[in-house]
Chain A
Amino acid sequence: MATLARLRARLPALREECFRRNGAVDEYRKKEYKAAVKIQSWFRGCRVRAYIRYLNSVIIIIQKWWRGYQGRRYFRKMVETAYFIMKMNFYNEMAVRIQKRWRGYYVRKYTHNYYALKKYLEAISVNNEIVRKELNEYAEMREKEKKKKDLEKKEKEKDHQARKMHYLLSTEQIAGVYNSPFRKSPDPMELLLRKSKPLSHRQQPAKNHLICDWSNCTRSLTFPTAQPLPPIGRQKPQGPFRDTAEVLQQRYKPLEPTLRVAASINSLEKAREEIKREEWRNCVHDNEFLPFSSYHKKEKYDPSIHRSGRYDQETYGIKHFREVQPKKWIADKDFQTVLPSIILFEKFGKTYTRTGQIF
């Protein structure tokens, strides 16, 4: 008990002690806690760092190996490509060499063949020569023709002139102007005059008989009697005679018969015949047109053949046209016509011309 008492006695002290101690502990707790945290964090940090260091070293080893492997692989590849490129370059070069030779050969042989070009140009120059020669010949020919034509024309003119001036020809007695007696030989014109015929009098252009209408030709057709030749000029007769021309005209004037003499004996009959023929030509049909009168009343009506059948009207030509036998047909369709088309109709309306177009 005593102890208990002692203890009880000591209890307040203890309590105080306990309070004090707890207070002291409380006082240092924060500090200690912080210190403990620091120690722990340091320790943990050390541990983690060590671990990371370890990981790093491991990673470096892995990377080292990987990179080495990759680098080697890359290098190998690079070498391969370089080798390939080298090879390709070499092949290309060789190919170019071959192509160069081949193309040169090909072009020289086929496209820019020097010899062919040379030959072609030579051929052209030869051809040109030929063409030039031919053209010159042609021109010469044309010129010659022209000259010949001119010459002919001149000759003709000269001939005509000579014929016109034929009266200048010298006679045996009297020398002409071109045949001077003081000269040794006559002028060439004289020779030409001798050769040429004198120009006859100009013929009146004959009236065109085609245009001249027969219908209003009053004169009866006779043979053209030759005009009597006028007498060769005589000496003019003495005395107070009429003018020779007048006398001659009187003497040789053409016959002018009277109408009665000129007309034929049977002209009346002929005229009647002619009128009859005319009527026959001009009539439209053979039946005479009869004047309207009671004349027809006596005549019986004459029906046409078709309508005058004894039994019935015939349907031929009205209802049917031709015998048809459908049983014998081999096809339902009509046969195709093979007639050629008519070209004129094809063209119709497609050309510019308006000929034949119906307005």
Chain B
Amino acid sequence: MTLSGDACFLLRPGVMALLRPLLLDVVPTIQQTAALALGRLANYNDDLAEAVVKGDILPQLVCSLSEQNRFYKKAAAFVLRAVGKHSPQLAQAIVQCGGLETLVICLEDFDPGVKEAAAWALGYIARHNSELSQAVVDAGAVPLLVLCIQEPEIALKRIAASTLSDISKHSPELAQTVVDAGAIAHLAQMILNPDAKLKRQVLSALSQIAKHSVDLAELVVEAEIFPVVLTCLKDSDEYVKKNGATLIREIAKHTPELSQLIVNAGGVAAVIDCIGSCRGTVRLPGIMMLGYVAAHSENLSMAVIISKGIPPLCTCLMEENEDHIKAAAAWALGQVGRHTPEHARAVAVANVLPTLLSMYMDTHSSEDLQVKTKKALKNILQKCTYLPALEPLLHDAPPNILKHIVGQFSKVLPHDSKARRLFVTTGGLKKVQEIKAEPGSLLQEYINTINNCYPEEIVRYYSPGYSEILLERVENYHPVL
């Protein structure tokens, strides 16, 4: 059956009313086909799915689900899945008909196909929100799903892992239930499975478990996933890469200790390579992971720098088209550079500050990107003592950024004679004289500090309007004859 615009046409004469008696037909094939047709109709859009619910077909399906043969079971589970996938309300309707209990019984079936269909339907129901997830858990699905992961069929494993992921993504309690059923050990074993799609689901499930709390993350780490997960970052499949990076990110974000563990396992290097080797949204979790690791402590941030993390982040910042990835890269760079002058210098040497500034100034960039770049600039500039990188920013920074730049100059110049000399020759002093600062403001204080480092003539020489004053003096000069 192919469905396109004709589906609505099918709905009008009340196809549900026609299909419903067919579900009770004596011939099993007709029953199955009717269920399949219902499933495909419900799959098409949410109006049709709602029509299935309103047609009171669900209770009938649910009742017969436990009694019929495996083909019918598969078809009925397909209908439930197709109905439940559209919205939380429709999924709730399934729960109210007692569909969960029968689906859970189907999980105990002998046939892997039935198990798969039931697990899939449960996953689609649990996906919507935490209440529905809780209902699935209360129906006792989790231990059976964990048993399903251990089955030899790859497809069943995939669906079961995906369902576990959907269940555990909502709240720490649900994730804890999944963990209590002993899912982590089995999931961790399958990371090395050659099947890419299974790997995706497994990594996603692990990351959904690990994201909630430190304890859960530690449990995931204790399953000895660590050198193994890094191989996923080299996988040929993009989504495996992305989910692997997400898992590492979810673990790294919790505590400095976990981050340290990842750094020691060489995770940072692997993530950096991964960022360098792919494009687009696949990069995002890796970028965020670097940011989280760098945010925890200066040593970890140093580890990111040493692992050559800054050049890939810079390329992300420049190459990517999407604003949110750029924002993430800017944030990560800010976290790397904010600890000590050493860190800030490492970031500044990569010549990333002008890029950040131009993004901040660009009117086309999103608000979030502007906020993130501003924060990153502020964090880096407040620690940066590498003047050659600050120099070009003097010319095109807005006042709120300029404040920090001039502040850094005012801190360094009094103690460094070579820098003072260089500051004059590169035209920095002139630029500083041209800044119009409100008297009494912080900026004015910084400017005064800089001016105090130089002899008065030089300061006056570089002040704007000095040539006119000189010319006036020439005019007013009476030569002694």
Please, how many angstroms separate the alpha-carbon atoms of A205 and B424 in the complex?
Answer: 92
* From A117, A120, A124, A352, contact of B140 by CB (8 A): A352
- A40 interfacial by beta-carbon distance below 8 Å: no
State whether A352 touches B273 (Cβ < 8 A): no
- B216 interfacial by beta-carbon distance below 8 Å: no
Q: Of the 9-residue stretches A66-74, A130-138, A310-318, which lies at the interface with chain B?
A: A130-138
Using a CB-CB cutoff of 8 Å, which residues 74-122 of chain B contact chain A? 104-105, 108
State whether B269 touches A138 (Cβ < 8 A): no
- A180 interfacial by beta-carbon distance below 8 Å: no
* Chain A residues with CB below 8 A from B273, complex form: 132, 135
* Chain B residues with CB below 8 A from A127, complex form: 264, 266, 269
* From B143, B144, B234, B299, contact of A138 by CB (8 A): B234
Please, how many angstroms separate the alpha-carbon atoms of A125 and B302 in the complex?
Answer: 11
State whether B269 touches A132 (Cβ < 8 A): yes
Interface size on B, residues (CB 8 A): 31
Determine the main DSSP class of A at the interface with B: helix
What are 19 A-to-B residue pairs whose CB atoms are below 8 Å? A117-B299, A124-B264, A124-B306, A129-B269, A130-B266, A131-B230, A131-B270, A135-B230, A135-B231, A139-B234, A142-B235, A142-B236, A351-B140, A352-B137, A352-B140, A352-B143, A352-B181, A353-B144, A354-B140
* Chain A residues with CB below 8 A from B307, complex form: 124-125, 128
* Chain B residues with CB below 8 A from A353, complex form: 108, 140, 143-144
* Chain B residues with CB below 8 A from A177, complex form: none
- A355 interfacial by beta-carbon distance below 8 Å: yes
| B193-236 interface code vs A (CB 8 A; 1 in, 0 out) | 00000000000000000000000000000000001001101111
Using a CB-CB cutoff of 8 Å, which residues 231-268 of chain B contact chain A? 231, 233-236, 263-266, 268
- A146 interfacial by beta-carbon distance below 8 Å: yes
Q: Write the nearest CB–CB distance from B269 to chain A, whole angstroms.
A: 3
- A121 interfacial by beta-carbon distance below 8 Å: yes
| A177-200 interface code vs B (CB 8 A; 1 in, 0 out) | 000000000000000000000000
Q: What residue in chain B is nearest A142 (Cβ atoms)?
A: B236
State whether A138 touches B141 (Cβ < 8 A): no
Q: What residue in chain B is nearest A352 (Cβ atoms)?
A: B140
| B420-454 interface code vs A (CB 8 A; 1 in, 0 out) | 00000000000000000000000000000000000
State whether B234 touches A135 (Cβ < 8 A): yes
* Chain A residues with CB below 8 A from B231, complex form: 135, 138
| Chain A interface size range | 20 to 34
User: Which of A124, A127, A143 has most chain B Cβ within 10 Å?
Assistant: A124
| A138-166 interface code vs B (CB 8 A; 1 in, 0 out) | 11001100100000000000000000000
6 closest pairs, A vs B, by CB? A131-B266, A352-B140, A128-B269, A139-B234, A135-B234, A128-B307
Please, how many angstroms separate the alpha-carbon atoms of A77 and B144 in the complex?
Answer: 86
Using a CB-CB cutoff of 8 Å, which residues 311-359 of chain A contact chain B? 351-355
Known: A352-B141, A352-B144. 20 other contacts (CB 8 A): A117-B302, A121-B303, A121-B306, A124-B263, A127-B264, A127-B269, A128-B269, A128-B306, A130-B266, A131-B230, A135-B270, A135-B273, A136-B234, A142-B234, A143-B236, A352-B140, A353-B140, A353-B144, A354-B104, A354-B105
Which residues does B use to contact A, with CB under 8 Å? Answer: 104-105, 108, 137, 139-144, 181, 227, 230-231, 233-236, 263-266, 268-270, 273, 299, 302-303, 306-307
Please, how many angstroms separate the alpha-carbon atoms of A135 and B104 in the complex?
Answer: 41
Please, how many angstroms separate the alpha-carbon atoms of A342 and B181 in the complex?
Answer: 20
Please, how many angstroms separate the alpha-carbon atoms of A41 and B234 in the complex?
Answer: 123
Q: What residue in chain B is nearest A131 (Cβ atoms)?
A: B266
* Chain A residues with CB below 8 A from B235, complex form: 142
Determine the main DSSP class of B at the interface with A: helix
Q: What residue in chain B is nearest A138 (Cβ atoms)?
A: B231
Which residues does A use to contact B, with CB under 8 Å? Answer: 117, 120-121, 124-125, 127-132, 135-136, 138-139, 142-143, 146, 351-355
State whether A128 touches B143 (Cβ < 8 A): no
* Chain A residues with CB below 8 A from B143, complex form: 351-353
Given A117-B299, A121-B302, A121-B303; A131-B269 close (CB under 8 Å): yes
Q: Write the nearest CB–CB distance from A214 to chain B, whole angstroms.
A: 24
Q: What residue in chain B is nearest A354 (Cβ atoms)?
A: B140
Please, how many angstroms separate the alpha-carbon atoms of A352 and B231 in the complex?
Answer: 35
* From B139, B142, B233, B306, contact of A135 by CB (8 A): B233
Q: Write the nearest CB–CB distance from A318 to chain B, whole angstroms.
A: 46
Given A124-B263, A142-B236, A352-B140; A132-B270 close (CB under 8 Å): yes
State whether B108 touches A355 (Cβ < 8 A): yes
* Chain A residues with CB below 8 A from B140, complex form: 351-354
Please, how many angstroms separate the alpha-carbon atoms of A353 and B181 in the complex?
Answer: 11
* Chain B residues with CB below 8 A from A131, complex form: 227, 230, 265-266, 269-270
Q: What residue in chain B is nearest A120 (Cβ atoms)?
A: B299
* Chain B residues with CB below 8 A from A135, complex form: 230-231, 233-234, 270, 273
Q: What residue in chain B is nearest A351 (Cβ atoms)?
A: B143
Q: Write the nearest CB–CB distance from A131 to chain B, whole angstroms.
A: 3
* Chain A residues with CB below 8 A from B263, complex form: 124
Q: What residue in chain A is nearest B141 (Cβ atoms)?
A: A352
Please, how many angstroms separate the alpha-carbon atoms of A127 and B181 in the complex?
Answer: 36
* Chain A residues with CB below 8 A from B142, complex form: 352
Please, how many angstroms separate the alpha-carbon atoms of A354 and B360 in the complex?
Answer: 59
* Chain A residues with CB below 8 A from B104, complex form: 354
Q: Write the nearest CB–CB distance from A231 to chain B, whole angstroms.
A: 47
Please, how many angstroms separate the alpha-carbon atoms of A190 and B143 in the complex?
Answer: 60
* Chain A residues with CB below 8 A from B269, complex form: 127-129, 131-132
State whether B266 touches A128 (Cβ < 8 A): yes
* Chain B residues with CB below 8 A from A130, complex form: 266
Please, how many angstroms separate the alpha-carbon atoms of A142 and B230 in the complex?
Answer: 14
Q: Write the nearest CB–CB distance from B316 to chain A, whole angstroms.
A: 19
* Chain B residues with CB below 8 A from A146, complex form: 236
Q: What residue in chain A is nearest B302 (Cβ atoms)?
A: A121
